[in-house]
Chains A and B, each alone.
Chain A
Amino acid sequence: GEDVEQSLFLSVREGDSSVINCTYTDSSSTYLYWYKQEPGAGLQLLTYIFSNMDMKQDQRLTVLLNKKDKHLSLRIADTQTGDSAIYFCAVYNYGQNFVFGPGTRLSVLP
Chain B
Amino acid sequence: GAGVSQTPSNKVTEKGKYVELRCDPISGHTALYWYRQSLGQGPEFLIYFQGTGAADDSGLPNDRFFAVRPEGSVSTLKIQRTERGDSAVYLCASSRQTGELFFGEGSRLTVL
Contacts and interface: CB of A to CB of B under 8 A. Distances in A.
Contacts of B65: none
Contacts of B62: none
Interface stretch (B11-19, B73-81, B103-111): B103-111
Interface in A9-57: 30-31, 33, 35, 41-45, 48
Contact-residue size bin, chain B (C-beta under 8 Å from the other chain)? 20 to 34
Contacts of A48: 99-100
Contacts of A97: 33, 45, 48, 56, 59
A99 interface: yes
Contacts of B43: 43, 88, 100
Contacts, number: 50
B45 A42 contact: no
Interface in B62-101: 91, 93, 98-101
A103 B35 CA distance: 15
A39 to B, nearest CB: 11
A41 to B, nearest CB: 7
Contacts of A42: 91, 103-106
A45 B42 contact: no
A45 B4 CA distance: 13
5 contacts: A42-B103, A44-B103, A98-B33, A99-B45, A100-B43
Given A41-B105, A43-B91, 17 more contacts: A33-B101, A42-B91, A42-B105, A42-B106, A43-B43, A48-B100, A90-B101, A92-B101, A97-B45, A97-B48, A97-B56, A97-B59, A98-B33, A98-B101, A99-B45, A101-B42, A102-B42
